[in-house]
Amino acid sequence: MNDIKSGFVSLVGRSNVGKSTLLNRIIGEKISIISNKPQTTRSNLKLIYNSLDSQIVFLDTPGIQNPKNKLGEFMLKEARNSLKDVDLILYMVDVNFEIGELDKLIIDMLKKINLPKLCIINKIDTLDSEEICKLVSKYKDMKLFEKIIPISASEGTNVYNLIDCIKSYLPYGPKYYSDDMITDQTEREIVGEIIREKTLTFLRDEIPHGINVLIEKFSIRKTNQ
Ligand SMILES: Nc1nc2c(ncn2[C@@H]2O[C@H](COP(=O)(O)OP(=O)(O)OP(=O)(O)O)[C@@H](O)[C@H]2O)c(=O)[nH]1
Ligand SMILES: [Mg+2]
Q: How far is CA 44 from the centre of its chain?
A: 9
pLDDT band at 203 (very low <50, low <70, confident <90, very high): confident
- Beta-bridged to residue 9, according to DSSP, are 58, 88
Domains detected in the chain:
4-184 (3.40.50.300)
Choose among 197, 193, 166: nearest CA to 26.
Answer: 166
Distance from C-alpha of 222 to C-alpha of 225, rounded to nearest angstrom: 8
What residues flank ion ligand 2 with Cβ within 5 A?
Answer: 19-20, 40-41
| Nearest protein Cα to ligand 1, atom 16 | 34
Q: Which residue has the higher pLDDT, 79 or 2?
A: 79
**Across 26-30, 102-106, 111-115, least confident range:** 102-106
| Nearest protein Cα to ligand 1, atom 2 | 123
Over 80: is that where the pLDDT of 208 sits?
no
Query: Is the beta carbon of 96 within 6 A of some atom in ligand 1?
Result: no
Query: Is the beta carbon of 38 within 6 A of some atom in ligand 1?
Result: yes
Percent of the chain with pLDDT over 70: 99
Q: Residues 117-161: pLDDT tens digits?
A: 999 999 999 999 999 999 999 999 999 999 999 999 999 999 999
The alpha carbon of 79 and the centre of ligand 2 are apart by a number of angstroms equal to 11
Query: Is the beta carbon of 183 within 6 A of some atom in ligand 1?
Result: no
Distance from C-alpha of 69 to C-alpha of 18, rounded to nearest angstrom: 23
Query: Is the beta carbon of 55 within 6 A of some atom in ligand 1?
Result: no
Run of H or E including 145? none
Over 90: is that where the pLDDT of 183 sits?
yes
pLDDT for 72: 87
* Sheet containing 5-13: order of strands: 45-51, 54-60, 5-13, 88-94, 117-122, 147-150
